[in-house]
């Protein structure tokens, strides 16, 4: 069984993050940001995807697994419980259900990492996604 990884880039460079992914033998990064652009250099969707691919790591943006704007606003304000409630409700929407099923199937066969901005997975919705995948696959989750 593959281990499932999560990674945040808040305090890292693109190169540093890619090295962490490669050291963990990650084959595919699933970007779970609702908005895959970043003010932080190197982390916008196209540039990040191209940079990962150049290093032999696949990239897939799954917008449906991103936090809706009210959840992002709650997270920025430090209201983690509110963000979690909003995101859990979002995961019941058909598009999110399908995306979660797809991510789970990818994790069954590949070493994947769920990517988002926050360093601390406990304050990030990617932990909820990881917990849902772990519940199905009974896999270990590692925070890089």
**30-41, pLDDT tens digit by residue?**
999 999 888 899
pLDDT band at 1 (very low <50, low <70, confident <90, very high): low
CB atoms within 10 A of CB 54: 9
pLDDT band at 24 (very low <50, low <70, confident <90, very high): very high
Give the pairing type, strands 112-116 and 4-8.
parallel
Please give the pLDDT value at position 37.
Answer: 87
Q: What is the CA radius of gyration of the chain?
A: 14
Residue with tokens 């992914």: 21
Cα separation, 26 vs 112, in Å, equals 6
Half-sphere exposure of 16 (CA within 13 A, CB side): 9
- Structural contact between residues 13 and 20, judged by C-beta atoms closer than 8 angstroms: no
What tokens were used for 93? 């929407």
pTM of the model: 0.94
- Structural contact between residues 110 and 30, judged by C-beta atoms closer than 8 angstroms: no
Cα separation, 81 vs 60, in Å, equals 28
Q: Could you read off the pLDDT of 91-125 as tens digits, one per residue?
A: 999 999 999 999 999 999 999 999 999 999 888 99
How far is the CA of 142 from the CAs of 106, 111, 134, in angstroms?
16, 11, 11
Domain edges within the chain:
4-139
Determine which of 1-5, 16-20, 81-85, 107-111 has the lowest per-residue pLDDT on average.
1-5
Positive/negative CA dihedral, 28, 59, 119, 11: positive
Please give the pLDDT value at position 86.
Answer: 97
Residue 2 has pLDDT above 80, yes or no: no
- Under CATH, what is the fold of the domain 4-139? 3.90.190
């Amino acid at each position: 069984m593959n281990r499932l990884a999560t990674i945040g880039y808040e305090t890292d460079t693109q190169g540093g993050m890619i090295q962490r992914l490669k050291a963990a033998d990650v084959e595919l990064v699933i970007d779970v940001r609702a908005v895959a652009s970043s003010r932080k250099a190197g982390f916008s969707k196209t540039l990040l995807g191209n940079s990962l691919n150049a290093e032999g790591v696949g990239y897939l943006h799954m917008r449906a697994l991103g936090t809706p704007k009210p959840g992002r606003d709650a997270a920025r304000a430090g209201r983690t419980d509110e963000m979690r409630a909003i995101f859990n409700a979002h995961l019941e929407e058909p598009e999110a259900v399908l995306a979660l099923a797809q991510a789970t199937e990818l994790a069954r066969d590949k070493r994947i990492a769920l990517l988002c901005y926050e360093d601390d997975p406990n304050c990030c919705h990617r932990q909820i996604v990881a917990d849902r995948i772990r519940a199905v696959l009974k896999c270990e989750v590692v925070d890089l």
